[in-house]
């Protein structure tokens, strides 16, 4: 192994773990939200998120306002990142589909009428 490849391996060993340690939620937040939503925003007295469900609703609301077209999974990932790093609300067991807010929920599946005999 030459010196050049040794340095390259050392650089990868030093920098790769920190890059890989970022969650998808953290990356989405850092890419799309941090320019307006600094940590002071999350610590203010009149913050909108007061529990786990409210936090998810706010993440959905702001991604809609920014026209980001995130999936339910993206919204959940960002909510989890914010909760783990800032809010520390008790997380309820939820599925990705439980992120819908009023008016945004899918329409119920129609039932077929019973066959006539």
pLDDT tens sequence across 25-84: 999 999 998 887 765 566 556 678 899 999 999 999 999 999 999 999 999 999 999 999
Integer Cα distance of 58 and 51 in angstroms: 11
Which among 101, 50, 114 has a CA at the least distance from the CA of 75? 101
Q: What is this structure's pTM?
A: 0.60
């Amino acid at each position: 192994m030459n010196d050049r490849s040794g340095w390259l391996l050392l650089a990868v060993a030093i920098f790769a773990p920190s890059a890989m340690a970022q969650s998808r939620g953290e990356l989405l937040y850092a890419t799309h939200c941090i320019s307006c939503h600094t940590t002071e925003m999350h610590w203010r007295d009149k913050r909108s998120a007061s529990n786990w469900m409210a936090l998810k609703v706010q993440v959905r609301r702001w991604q809609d306002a920014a026209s980001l077209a995130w999936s339910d999974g993206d919204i959940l990932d960002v909510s989890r990142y914010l909760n783990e790093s800032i809010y520390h609300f008790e997380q309820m067991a939820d599925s990705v589909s439980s992120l819908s807010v009023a008016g945004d929920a899918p329409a119920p599946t129609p039932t077929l009428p019973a066959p006539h005999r």
